[in-house]
């Protein structure tokens, strides 16, 4: 382990300062503390979703559901229009004596396409909003951060925060009695 | 007709033989999607696969392969490429000719139609005639002159034959014999007679295995001289058939008889003032005629003789109640009744029948006598017997066999082959190098009738000229040309010979016109024989009655009959006929031992058992088929199977009934024993369910019931409200095609099935595939039994596509490969079909057929010739079905359009309709209230199959009406 | 010490900084590639490699419609005799060629195959230019009779030294006219004219002719497929 | 210290019994290591059964290759189908496989919405099963075509024929339903895997593995914001998949219900097919989960509770199916429709396949009733056996519906029988091989249990240690 004091001097090439916790509860508490302290640019990392954590670090609702709704609409409309266009415009045939626009028969396709497009937007939208794929990220510089995907919980206050100040921030974090506090190099 | 213009033929011949022609023929033929069998199209397969993966084939048709197009060098002027030509000619079966019109595409005969001008056809055909065009292209036909089995030439053959003649000539022709089938051809007869005149010691024998032996000797017995009998069923109120299957093609004139009889039935059904005819039949095995009968007396073939005797005893004397009832009816219809004896009944029976008809005053009214149509009527049995005797005695040095196959079909007790081996020079001329050819020093290929100049007489004596449509494909020659060799006129063509004969016998100087007209019409005017008043038939004395009535020795009886499909065996190698379901049991590719259920139980055998039948020491083994309606203690077996040198199609299938057939029991014999050998023989039938299973696809009623309830065919619960649909109905503004099938006329003869096969390039699939349930016939004839298993009524129902207006098949096709046309046709687009087979599942009539493999034969080039260029040849993996002969509809419409006139009723005739001898099928425009089909559909008997499903079928049926004798009505 | 930091850095990071943009770019690239493939497929299918449009084929005799039709002004029907009466327009038998060429160009080298064919009676083998799939049934006579001109489908053959296709003969090409014949019909007497130009008022002229010739718009499958 | 060189935290892999979804003593790390351990186990340490199983499956895959080659060379005639029975094994298998797929979606989607925590340790696994089952199912509609090389005509794409698919046909509905289902299942499965890919990335020993998992994880870093959006998307997926899974088998049932064929033309088909699908699906999950849990000693993660819950679902859906059979038969009798009535007479005794009907009643209705008894539900062996029986029964059900109905429809003259050929069987067994092979590979190379969701379970159980779930 490298000793904190030294690294803190290179504030300019810091992404932020990170504190490690043992359990979700303390992380949640820490995050709320930080916010009270007035920190804004921060992120919390946990091996599984933790209720209230996102809100605690000031994350306001997500757009995913709106996208999905739009996707669903397009899918449904597209599905029905496709069937209608094929049977009425593209090549009108007398099929089994049914009218050209046998709309009841188009329901299944309409529905399936709605679901298909909605689901695709859900996943693609989620990834895009999360800015993924993003294989490189400064937090990975921290070696212990590997355990964020196993059993440890991290709070990272980012250098971009106007209130960020290497020494002060570090001392603030240490006050939250974490396992450890470390710098996140850029 | 310039068809005798030599250049024409030469260029055609060349075309026929060159690769160009083949290429051309191929190009006439539609899309072959890849067949993995041959490398060329294997590449095609991969190409298409690649295409589908790359989506390059976004248009389904990838790059067209290079195709060449080959024009004539000198184009015959009457020929318009792309339009078919029709030539009138005639086809002879067992010597009796029937007029046909042969359709020719660019010199390729592709289809046979009946000749409306010809009295024996009136435009109708039977299955054999339809199939004859396939025989023309049969690659198994003999293709070369052979000497002791090795290839030789016509030159050396002529030398050999002339040599033999000259040797015989030294002794006035002694030891020179000619064997032919029954000959009606005036030309050929004259040629032979001239030969005999030159060589008086030579002899001419005639033998046809299924000829009219009994009929001939019957007439001799009754009148002391041979007379030909013609029946006028259109005039008959009461018909008593004594084992006479006059509606099936085994009887000369059957097409005409079927037409007359059905016309009468139809008239009666449509017009209450016309008395419906009543048909009684006594027979041992169910026949198509039996299926039309109002009363079916089931008795052994021997019993039929007894029954005849019973009838002869007269009103009071008759023993059986049936006979009494029949006699009463006959008495009531003197002069308007027919008693007809079966071709295969004993001569005495015929003699009796002649007497009975005379007694009933039918002669000259419903029963007409004329001179015999045979050029040289003689007792063919004694003729062959003599020949064999002489051969055995070594009295025969040269035997010239013109057609025929005696080694296979001569009576077994003669052991023809042994005798034949004693003949020094044996010459055979025939379509096939058959069993007989195998034992002849010389075999020469015979020309098919579509390649021949000849002539022949119909059942009523009408003479027709047989003219060729194509040069002999395999260099065959006609009997005329062979006879010319003997007359030292080897270079004279059959054309000149035939023309010569008629010129010689033509009075007046307008011969050329006469000749042209005769060729064009297909009949020679004024050649039908005039009616003859016969001498009083030999009186029937009680002794004769007693002897005839004496019931045959008890015990099992065996009955020999020509096969319903392949006849006496001459047609065995025709795959269409082999795969044509036999009317009575829907069996294909086989013959079987028919037995009644009761007898089967008695002898401990059942369907599928292989039994050994023994008659007078001769044995044959064949599989058993339990046939409802078969008489007890009576076996029926059919000829035409068990061939050894017929060709790839027929060799080794079925068993040979001839090996059991003695001269003294030509058609039936008693004292036969059967022994069960093994079981589990697999038949290939196209229909497995025998009955209607409490359903009523086929609807019938007696006249009494019909008058009581005229709507019997469409009871309330079967009808659907016209507008019973969630959706508005489609309107069909221009045409509205529909079809009506009269079950009251249909005899189940299968002519329509084969006509359809020929018209629509329907492939043959073979026994295994049929057994799997994959037969391809677009138009199937369903057979149902009704009533007790022993003696049921037998019904036939032709089932083509119904062209439903609310077609269930269309609804479920994912690629719109089957949709409706503006004229209400249920279109099937082969090239769009991907083969989900969903349409077939959803078709309540199961009329769709699927190409599970590549059934179309793309390996046998000679068979390309038979295909109809106006119909796609379907490839592997696509669905197909009846199209109402769309190619005919389109061409008729185009012709009408070009002449700027509407399509007239009758312009469009479907193949099945055209072939049907009973005129049971009528096609036309339902929007035209005066069209025949529209009128028929307005009849009360009209009903739709499964119409309660609201499929709105365009094909509907007219219910069957029966006219039983109240006195004899069962129950 | 910063070296130490960098050392650490490189140890935990699996991917280099650039990989972020790389990842996003590659996604876009793949999508574009897919699109491109499909586009290319359609292009190829419309191109003459598949359709043979404007591709002249090797023939036994370099027959020039330009010369015979354009210069000599021979009528189409002189050689394609059955075009008005049959589904098949007809290809002239060697006889027809020899009709003239026994007199003119009687010894021309290029015509030797023709003379040979006439001598031997062995047909000339022309390579098909307008070759419909075998499951398509086209009838020349009805089109000609209803006022569809030769050049409408076959182009200005009078300007073709060697004959080639000017249309794809794809189904969509047929349907395009079958749905609205009015845009292509011309007066019957103009059918065999090579130089015929559609007038500006084709729309109303067409409509009139359609009525006059009782032309139907047939788009049923069985019109061409059976 | 690096994660990978810690000892696997040794937690006793004991089955905690029927009221716990997870064994005692587990913490975040231990579940991570136990599940991840399966993947990072050295190749040769793979359980022997896995090798044997995979080898067997691979043989079947080769059998399929042969069968399909022959099919393409000769045509669909190599199968026993004919007229009237134009659909045979191909469609039977298609419906069977699709049905099996449904359990996966049900578990991961519907149970998620219902907040059933016992879904957690089996959802990943059954989603994979769904994916592979759908893959197998998807093969058949193409294989059974007369001209498979034209299968793309079923898709709407602009072409030079100006021809399009015919959207009134249930088969086109199938195309859309099945392809949608396949896509959505894949998305669902992959989305679920992203955080675990990240875990794998961080656990991976060698750099290649780290790179591969790294790419798959797409840089997932467990940020709270990511989690927020992630959960939203996942919930929406679940919400959409739920009606989807119902629609898919309804559409499949339309293939029959829309047709007029007696025995097919039944309005009850959609619900009864869906129930049947879930029924067979759970049977298949059990058939697979029970051995795997044994071989990899996952008894503490896939506990008796899971097995019992699944048994209960089987029992329930089984009863719905039984109701379906009863209703079908009753309506046939009650409607009085001659053909409909005969179809069932034929199905039950008159026809050539009457025995298949009674075997399916035995397999799908009678035997599973044993699950009423807790003792049976508690016995892994018994449950496994019943699951197998149900698999067979559900296949037979489809056989009876497809084939028996076709053999005898309206016009007696065209009645016939269907006899499967060796190629029918090879194709069927072949797809089972494909399915198993994929399953074995999946279990070996990917976390077969959702790790992050197990951590949540640990979190919850930690919160209320004595909380008995679900009861």
pLDDT tens digits for A38-65? Answer: 898 999 999 999 988 998 888 887 788 8
Domain count, chain C: 3
**Shortest Cα–Cα distance, C53 to chain A (Å):** 26
**Domain encompassing residue A70:** 63-129
B647, B432 Cβ separation under 8 angstroms: yes
CB atoms within 10 A of CB C105: 12
Number of folded domains that form chain D: 1
Vertex D26 angle, CA D25 and D27, to 5°: 120
Residue D16 phi, psi (nearest 5):
-75, 0
Each residue's pLDDT tens digit, D344-392: 999 998 888 999 999 999 999 999 999 999 999 999 999 999 999 999 9
pLDDT digits (tens, 9 = 90+) for B110-132: 999 999 999 999 999 999 999 99
Domain boundary among A129, A150, A174: A129
How does DSSP assign A4-31, residue by residue? HHHHHT-GGGEEEEEEEESSHHHHHHHH
Q: If you count them, how many residues does chain D have?
A: 471
For residue B46, the model assigns a pLDDT of 38
How many CB pairs below 8 Å do chains A and B form together? 35
Q: Which chains touch B (3 or more CB pairs under 8 A)?
A: A, C, D
Please give the model's pTM, rounded to 2 decimal places: 0.91
Tell me the C-alpha distance between C1 and D408, whole Å. Answer: 87
- Whether residue B367 contacts residue B227, with contact meaning beta carbons closer than 8 Å, is answered with no
Other beta carbons within 10 Å of B100: 30
Q: Minimal CA–CA distance to D187: which of A71, B904, B561?
A: A71
Q: How confident is the model at residue B233 (pLDDT cuts 50, 70, 90)?
A: very high
Mean pLDDT of all residues in B219-232 = 93
Taking 80 as the threshold, does the pLDDT of residue B40 lie above it?
no
Query: What single DSSP character describes residue A38?
Result: T
Residue in D375, D323, D395 with CA at minimum distance from that of residue D137: D395
Query: What's the rounded mean pLDDT across residues D29-48?
Result: 85
Residue A67 domain-assigned?
A: yes
Residues of D in contact with A125 (CB under 8 A): 233
Q: Strand pairing of B425-430 and B398-402?
A: parallel
ipTM score for this prediction: 0.92
B423 and B325 both lie in a single domain:
no
Closest-CA distance, A85 to chain B, in angstroms, reads: 15
pLDDT at C12 > cutoff 90: no
pLDDT band at B47 (very low <50, low <70, confident <90, very high): very low
Q: Domain span at residue C114? A: 92-125
B821 touches chain A (CB under 8 A): yes
Residue of B815, B842, B877 with shortest CB distance to D75: B877
Cβ neighbours for D192, distance < 8 A, ≥ 6 positions apart: D108, D123, D124, D127, D234, D450
Q: Do B466 and B558 belong to one domain?
A: no
Q: Give the chain A residue whose CA is nearest to the CA of C24.
A: A133
Angle at the Cα of A126 (from A122 to A132), degrees rounded to 5? Answer: 140
Query: Does A108 lie in the same domain as A53?
Result: no
Residue A182: its H or E element: strand A180-185
Q: Cβ(D86)–Cβ(B841) under 8 Å? A: yes
Residue range(s) defining the domain that contains residue D320: 29-147+183-467
pLDDT of D113 higher than 50:
yes
Q: Please indicate, yes or no, whether residues B569 and B462 belong to a single structural domain of this protein.
A: no
Residues C105 and C194 in one domain: no
B634: domain range? Answer: 553-685
Per-residue pLDDT at C148: 94
Backbone angles phi, psi at C157, to 5 degrees: -65, -20
Residues C96, C134, single domain; the answer is no
pLDDT tops 60 at residue D466: no
B924 by Cβ neighbours in 10 Å (0-12 / 13-18 / 19+) ranks as buried
Q: For residue B900, is it within any domain?
A: no
Residues C158 and C82 grouped into a single domain: yes
Cis peptide upstream of residue A133 (ω within 30 degrees of 0): yes
Can you give the CATH number for the domain in which B671 is found? 2.40.40.20
State percent of chain B over pLDDT 70: 93
**Do residue B820 and residue A96 have CB atoms under 8 angstroms apart?**
yes
Tell me whether residue B165 is exposed, middle or buried, using C-beta atoms within 10 angstroms of its C-beta: 0 to 12, 13 to 18, 19 or more. buried
- Helix H or strand E segment including B205: strand B203-206
Is residue B82 over pLDDT 60? Answer: yes
Are C147 and C191 found together in one domain?
yes
Taking the Cβ of residue C102 and every Cβ of chain B, the question of whether any pair is shorter than 8 Å is answered with no
Give the Cα separation of A119 and A111 in Å (integer). Answer: 12
CATH code, domain with B248: 3.40.228
Question: Does residue B516 sit in the same domain as residue B561?
Answer: no
Cβ contact A146–D176 (<8 Å): no
Nearest CA-CA partner of B574 in B140, B896, B251, B144: B140
Domain check: are A93 and A52 in the same one?
Answer: no
Q: Is residue B674 part of a domain?
A: yes
Helix, coil or strand: residue B904: coil
In a domain, residue C197? The reply is yes
Helices (H), chain A: 4-8, 24-37, 53-56, 64-84, 107-129, 166-175
Minimal CA–CA distance to C65: which of C197, C164, C196, C191? C164
Please indicate, yes or no, whether residues B355 and B400 belong to a single structural domain of this protein. Answer: no
How much of chain D, in percent, has pLDDT values that exceed 90?
Answer: 71
pLDDT of residue A3: 41
User: How far apart are the C-alpha atoms of D408 and D349, rounded to whole Å?
Assistant: 13
Residue of B64, B829, B900 with shortest CB distance to C221:
B829
Distance of CA B297 to the CA centre of its chain: 26
Q: Report how far residue B802's alpha carbon sits from residue B823's, in angstroms, rounded to the nearest whole number.
A: 14
| Chains with ≥3 CB–CB distances under 8 Å to A | B, C, D
Mean pLDDT for chain B overall: 89
Among B27-41, B846-860, B885-899, the range scoring the smallest mean pLDDT is B27-41
Same domain, B174 and B234: no
Q: For residue B728, what pLDDT is reported? A: 87
CA dist., res. B539 & res. B387, Å (int): 34
Look at residues B545, B950, B596, B911 and name the one whose alpha carbon lies nearest to residue B762: B911
Q: Are residues C161 and C80 in the same domain?
A: yes
**C59 contact B CB<8A:** no
Q: How confident is the model at residue A102 (pLDDT cuts 50, 70, 90)?
A: very high
pLDDT at B194 > cutoff 60: yes
**DSSP single-letter state for residue B404:** -
Per-residue tokens: A162: 């106007």
Is the residue at A92 inside a domain?
yes
Mean pLDDT for D449-453 is 90
CA C34 to chain centre: 29
Asked if residue C60 belongs to a domain, the reply is: no
Quote the number of domains for chain B. 3
Tell me whether residue D178 is in a domain: no
Residue-wise DSSP of D180-230? HHHHHHHHHHHHHHHHHHHHHHHH-SSHHHHHHHHHHHTT---BHHHHHHH
Please state, in angstroms and as integers, the Cα–Cα distance from residue D215 to each residue in B100, B690, C87, D219, following that order: 80, 69, 64, 7
Q: Quick one: angle between helices D304-335 and D120-143, nearest 10?
A: 40
What pLDDT, on the 0 to 100 scale, is given for residue B514?
93
Q: Is the pLDDT of residue B443 over 70?
A: yes
D233 part of contact set with chain A, CB < 8 Å = yes
- Closest to A4 measured CA to CA, from A169, A164, A153: A169
Is residue D345 a part of any domain in this protein? Answer: yes
In angstroms, the separation between the Cα of residue C209 and the nearest Cα of chain D is 27
Q: Is residue B432 part of a domain?
A: yes
Classify residue D112: in a domain, yes or no: yes
In a domain, D161, yes or no: no
Please say if the pLDDT value at position B340 is more than 70: yes
Q: How far is the alpha carbon of D119 from chain C, nearest alpha carbon, in Å?
A: 33
Q: Does residue C212 sit within a domain?
A: yes
Q: Region D67-93: what's the mean pLDDT?
A: 95
pLDDT, position C49 = 85
Please give the Cα distance from B415 to B625 (Å, whole number).
29
Phi-psi region of C31 (alpha: psi -120 to 50; beta: other; left: phi over 0): alpha
Question: If 0-12 CB within 10 Å is exposed, 13-18 middle and 19+ buried, where does residue C62 land?
Answer: exposed
Q: Are B383 and B517 part of one and the same domain?
A: yes
Do residues C212 and C119 share a domain? Answer: no
Are the beta carbons of A93 and B819 closer than 8 angstroms?
Answer: yes
* Region class of B604: left (phi > 0), else alpha (psi between -120 and 50), else beta: left
Please give the pLDDT value at position B28. Answer: 37
Can you read off the two tokens belonging to residue C154? 């076959």
* Secondary structure element (H or E) that encloses residue B738, with its range: strand B737-742
pLDDT surpassing 50 at residue C124: yes
* Domain identity same for C103 and C27: no
Looking at the fold, whether A33 and A68 belong to one and the same domain comes out as: no
Instruction: Quote the pLDDT of residue B654.
Output: 95
Give the Å distances, CA to CA, from A53 to A42, A127, D32.
Answer: 12, 20, 22
On whether both C79 and C176 belong to a single domain, the answer is yes
Q: Residues C115, C102: one domain? A: yes
Q: Domain end: B685, B709, B737, which one? A: B685
Asked if residue B383 and residue B515 are part of one domain, the reply reads yes
pLDDT tops 60 at residue D142: yes
C170 and C211 together in one domain: yes
B346 and B415 in one domain? no
D171 assigned to some structural domain: no
- B204 and B291, same domain (yes or no): no
Query: How many domains does chain A fold into?
Result: 2
B560 part of a folded domain: yes
User: Which residue, A108, A129, A150, sits at the end of a domain?
Assistant: A129
CA-to-CA separations, D450 to B576, B900, D32, in angstroms, rounded: 66, 78, 9
Q: Does B816 touch chain D (CB under 8 A)?
A: yes
What subunits touch chain D, counting only 3 or more CB pairs under 8 A? Answer: A, B, C
Alpha-carbon distance of B139 to B648, in angstroms, equals 9
């Amino acid at each position: 382990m490298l000793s904190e004091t030294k690294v803190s001097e290179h504030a300019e090439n810091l992404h932020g300062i990170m504190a490690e916790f043992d359990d979700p509860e303390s992380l949640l508490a820490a995050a709320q503390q930080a916010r009270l302290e007035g920190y804004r640019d921060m992120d919390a990392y946990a091996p599984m979703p933790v209720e209230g954590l996102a809100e605690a670090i000031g994350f306001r609702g997500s757009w995913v559901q709106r996208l999905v709704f739009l996707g669903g609409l397009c899918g449904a409309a597209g599905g029905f229009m496709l069937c209608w266009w094929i049977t009425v415009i593209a090549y009108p045939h007398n099929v089994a004596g049914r009218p050209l626009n046998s709309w009841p028969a188009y329901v299944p396709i309409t529905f399936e396409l709605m679901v298909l497009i909605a689901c695709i937007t859900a996943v693609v939208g989620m990834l895009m909003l999360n800015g993924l794929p993003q294989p490189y990220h400064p937090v990975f510089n921290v070696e212990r951060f590997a355990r964020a995907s196993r059993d440890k919980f991290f709070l990272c206050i980012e250098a971009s925060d106007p209130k960020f100040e290497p020494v002060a921030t570090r001392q603030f974090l240490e006050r939250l009695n974490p396992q450890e506090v470390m710098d996140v190099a850029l | 007709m310039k068809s005798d213009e030599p250049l024409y033929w030469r260029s055609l011949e060349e075309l026929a033989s060159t690769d160009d022609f083949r290429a051309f023929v191929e190009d006439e033929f539609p899309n072959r999607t890849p067949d993995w069998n041959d490398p060329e199209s294997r590449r095609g397969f991969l190409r298409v696969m690649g295409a589908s993966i790359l989506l390059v084939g976004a248009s389904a048709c990838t790059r067209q392969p290079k195709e060449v197009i080959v024009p004539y060098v000198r184009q015959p002027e009457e020929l318009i490429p792309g339009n078919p030509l029709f030539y009138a000619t005639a086809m002879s079966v067992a010597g009796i000719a029937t007029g046909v019109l042969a359709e020719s595409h660019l010199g390729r005969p592709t289809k046979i139609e009946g000749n409306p001008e010809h009295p024996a056809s009136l435009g109708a055909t039977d299955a054999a005639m339809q199939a004859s065009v396939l025989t023309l292209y049969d690659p198994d036909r003999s293709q070369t002159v052979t000497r002791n089995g090795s290839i030789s030439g016509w030159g050396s053959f002529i030398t050999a034959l002339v040599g033999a003649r000259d040797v015989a000539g030294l002794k006035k022709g002694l030891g020179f014999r000619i064997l032919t089938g029954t000959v009606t051809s005036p030309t050929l007869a004259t040629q032979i007679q001239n030969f005999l005149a030159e060589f008086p010691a030579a002899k001419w024998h005639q033998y046809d295995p299924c000829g009219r032996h009994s009929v001939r000797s019957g007439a001799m017995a009754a009148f002391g001289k041979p007379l030909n009998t013609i029946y006028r069923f259109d005039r008959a109120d009461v018909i008593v058939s004594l084992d006479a299957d006059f509606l099936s093609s085994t009887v000369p004139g059957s097409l005409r008889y079927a037409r007359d009889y059905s016309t009468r039935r139809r008239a009666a059904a449509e017009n209450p003032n016309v008395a419906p005819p009543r048909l009684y039949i006594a027979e041992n095995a169910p026949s198509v005629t039996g299926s039309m009968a109002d009363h079916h007396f089931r008795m052994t073939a021997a019993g039929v003789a007894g029954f005849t005797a019973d009838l002869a005893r007269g009103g009071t004397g008759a023993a059986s109640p049936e006979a009494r009832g029949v006699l009463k009816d006959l008495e009531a219809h003197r002069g308007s009744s027919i008693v007809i004896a079966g071709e295969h009944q004993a001569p005495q029976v015929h003699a009796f029948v002649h007497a009975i008809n005379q007694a009933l005053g039918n002669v000259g009214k419903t029963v007409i006598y004329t001179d015999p149509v045979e050029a040289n009527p003689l007792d063919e049995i004694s003729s062959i017997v003599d020949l064999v005797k002489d051969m055995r005695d070594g009295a025969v040095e040269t035997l010239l066999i013109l057609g025929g196959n005696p080694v296979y079909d001569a009576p077994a007790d003669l052991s023809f082959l042994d005798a034949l081996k004693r003949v020094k020079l044996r010459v055979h001329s025939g379509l096939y190098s058959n069993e007989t050819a195998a034992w002849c020093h010389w075999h020469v290929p015979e020309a098919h009738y579509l390649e021949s100049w000849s002539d022949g007489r119909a059942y009523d004596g009408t003479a027709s000229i047989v003219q060729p449509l194509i040069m002999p494909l395999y260099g065959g020659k006609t009997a005329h040309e062979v006879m010319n060799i003997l007359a030292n006129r080897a270079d004279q063509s059959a054309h000149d010979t035939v023309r010569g004969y008629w010129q010689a016998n033509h009075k007046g100087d307008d011969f050329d016109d006469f000749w042209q007209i005769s060729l064009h019409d297909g009949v020679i005017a004024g050649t039908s024989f005039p009616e003859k008043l016969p001498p009083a038939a030999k009186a029937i004395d009680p002794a004769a009655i007693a002897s005839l009535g004496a019931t045959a020795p008890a015990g099992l009886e065996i009955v020999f009959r020509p096969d319903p499909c392949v006849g006496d065996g001459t047609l065995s190698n025709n795959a269409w006929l082999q795969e044509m379901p036999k009317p009575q049991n829907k069996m294909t590719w086989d013959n079987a031992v028919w037995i009644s259920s009761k007898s089967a139980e008695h002898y401990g055998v059942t369907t599928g058992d292989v039994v050994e039948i023994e008659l007078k020491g001769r044995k044959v083994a064949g599989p058993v088929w339990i046939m409802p309606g078969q008489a007890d203690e009576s076996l029926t077996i059919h000829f035409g199977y068990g061939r050894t040198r017929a060709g790839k199609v027929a060799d080794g299938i079925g068993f040979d009934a001839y090996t059991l057939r003695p001269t003294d029991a030509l058609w039936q014999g008693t004292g036969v024993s059967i022994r069960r050998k093994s079981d589990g023989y697999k038949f290939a039938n196209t229909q497995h369910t025998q009955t209607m299973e409490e359903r009523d696809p086929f609807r019938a009623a007696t006249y009494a019931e019909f008058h009581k309830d005229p709507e019997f065919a469409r009871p309330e619960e079967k009808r659907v409200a016209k507008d019973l649909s969630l959706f508005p109905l489609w309107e069909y503004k221009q045409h509205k095609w529909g079809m009506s099938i009269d079950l009251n006329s249909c005899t189940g003869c299968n002519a329509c099935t084969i006509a359809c096969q020929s018209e629509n390039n329907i492939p043959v699939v073979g026994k295994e595939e049929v057994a799997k349930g994959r037969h391809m016939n677009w138009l199937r004839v369903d057979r149902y039994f009704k009533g007790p298993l022993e003696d049921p009524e037998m019904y036939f129902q032709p089932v083509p596509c119904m062209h439903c207006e609310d077609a269930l098949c269309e609804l479920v096709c994912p690629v719109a490969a089957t949709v409706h046309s503006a004229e209400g046709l249920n279109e099937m687009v082969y090239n769009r079909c991907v083969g989900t087979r969903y349409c077939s599942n959803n078709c309540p009539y199961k009329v769709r057929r699927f190409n599970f493999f590549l059934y179309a034969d793309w390996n046998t080039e000679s068979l390309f010739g038979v295909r109809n260029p106006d119909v796609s040849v379907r490839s592997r993996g696509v669905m197909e079905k009846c199209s109402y002969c769309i190619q005919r509809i389109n061409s008729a419409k185009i012709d009408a359009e070009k002449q700027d006139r509407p399509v007239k009723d009758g312009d469009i005739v479907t193949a099945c309709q055209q072939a049907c001898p009973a005129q049971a099928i009528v096609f036309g425009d339902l929007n035209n209230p005066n069209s025949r089909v529209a009128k028929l559909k307005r009849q009360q008997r009209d009903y739709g199959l499964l119409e309660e499903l609201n499929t709105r079928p365009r094909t509907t049926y007219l219910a069957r009406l029966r006219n039983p004798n109240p006195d004899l009505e069962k129950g | 010490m910063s070296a130490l930091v960098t050392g650490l850095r490189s140890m935990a990071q699996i991917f280099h900084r650039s990989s972020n943009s790389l990842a996003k770019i590659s996604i876009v690239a793949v999508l574009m590639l897919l699109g491109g493939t499909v586009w290319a497929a359609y292009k190829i299918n419309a191109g003459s490699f598949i359709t043979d449009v404007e591709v002249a084929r090797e023939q036994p005799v370099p027959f020039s419609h330009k010369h015979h039709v354009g210069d000599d002004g021979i009528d189409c029907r002189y050689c394609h005799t059955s075009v008005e009466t049959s589904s098949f327009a007809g290809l002239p038998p060697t006889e027809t060629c020899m009709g003239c060429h026994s007199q003119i160009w009687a010894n021309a080298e290029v015509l030797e195959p023709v003379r040979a064919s006439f001598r031997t009676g062995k047909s000339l083998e022309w390579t098909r230019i307008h070759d419909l799939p075998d499951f398509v049934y086209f009838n020349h006579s009805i089109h000609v009779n209803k006022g569809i001109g030769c050049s409408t489908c076959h182009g200005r053959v009078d300007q073709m030294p060697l004959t080639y296709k000017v249309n794809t003969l794809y189904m969509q090409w047929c349907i395009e006219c079958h749905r609205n014949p009015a845009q292509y019909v011309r007066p019957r007497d103009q059918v065999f004219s090579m130089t015929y130009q559609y007038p500006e008022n084709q729309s109303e002229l067409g409509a009139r002719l359609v009525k006059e010739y009782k032309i139907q718009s047939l788009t049923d499958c069985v019109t061409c497929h059976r | 210290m690096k994660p990978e060189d810690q000892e696997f935290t040794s937690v006793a892999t004991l089955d905690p019994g029927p009221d716990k979804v997870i064994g005692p003593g587990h913490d975040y790390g231990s579940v991570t290591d136990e599940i991840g351990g399966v993947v990072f186990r050295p190749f040769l340490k793979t359980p022997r059964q896995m090798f044997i199983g995979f080898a067997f499956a691979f043989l079947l895959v080769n059998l399929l290759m042969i069968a399909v080659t022959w099919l393409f060379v000769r045509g669909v005639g190599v199968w026993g189908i004919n007229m009237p029975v134009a659909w045979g094994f191909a469609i039977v298998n298609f419906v069977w496989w699709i049905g099996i797929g449904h359990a996966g979606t049900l578990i991961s989607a519907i149970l998620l919405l219902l907040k059933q925590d016992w879904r957690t340790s089996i959802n990943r696994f059954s989603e994979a099963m769904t994916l592979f089952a759908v893959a197998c199912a998807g093969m058949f509609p193409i294989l059974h075509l007369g001209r498979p090389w034209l299968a793309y005509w079923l898709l709407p794409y602009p072409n030079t024929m100006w021809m399009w698919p015919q959207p009134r046909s249930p088969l086109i509905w199938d195309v859309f339903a099945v392809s949608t289902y396949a896509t959505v299942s894949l998305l669902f499965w992959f989305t679920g895997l992203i955080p675990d890919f990240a875990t794998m990335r961080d656990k991976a020993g060698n750099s290649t593995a780290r790179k591969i998992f790294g790419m798959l994880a797409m840089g997932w870093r467990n940020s709270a914001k990511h989690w927020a959006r992630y959960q939203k998307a996942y919930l929406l997926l679940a919400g959409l998949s739920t009606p989807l899974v119902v629609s898919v088998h309804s559409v499949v049932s339309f293939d029959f219900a829309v047709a007029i064929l007696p025995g097919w033309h039944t309005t009850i088909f959609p619900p009864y097919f869906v129930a049947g699908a879930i029924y067979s699906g759970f049977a298949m999950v059990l058939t697979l989960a029970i051995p795997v849990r044994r071989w990899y000693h996952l008894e503490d993660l896939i506990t008796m509770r899971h097995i019992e819950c699944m048994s209960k679902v089987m029992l329930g859906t089984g009863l719905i199916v039984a109701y379906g059979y009863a209703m079908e038969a009753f309506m046939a009798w009650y409607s009085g429709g001659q053909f409909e009535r005969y179809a069932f007479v034929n199905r039950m005794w008159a026809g050539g396949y009457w025995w298949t009907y009674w075997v399916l009643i035995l397999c799908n209705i009678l035997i599973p009733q044993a699950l009423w008894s807790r003792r049976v539900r508690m016995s892994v062996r018994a449950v496994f056996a019943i699951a197998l029986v149900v698999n067979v029964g559900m296949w037979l059900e489809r056989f009876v519906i497809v084939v028996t109905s076709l053999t005898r429809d309206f016009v007696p003259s065209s009645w016939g029988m269907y006899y499967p050929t060796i190629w029918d069987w090879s194709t069927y067994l072949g797809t089972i091989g494909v399915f198993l092979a994929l399953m074995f590979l999946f279990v070996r190379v990917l976390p077969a249990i959702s790790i992050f969701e197990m951590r949540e379970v640990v979190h919850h159980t930690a919160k209320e240690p004595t909380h008995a779930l679900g009861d």
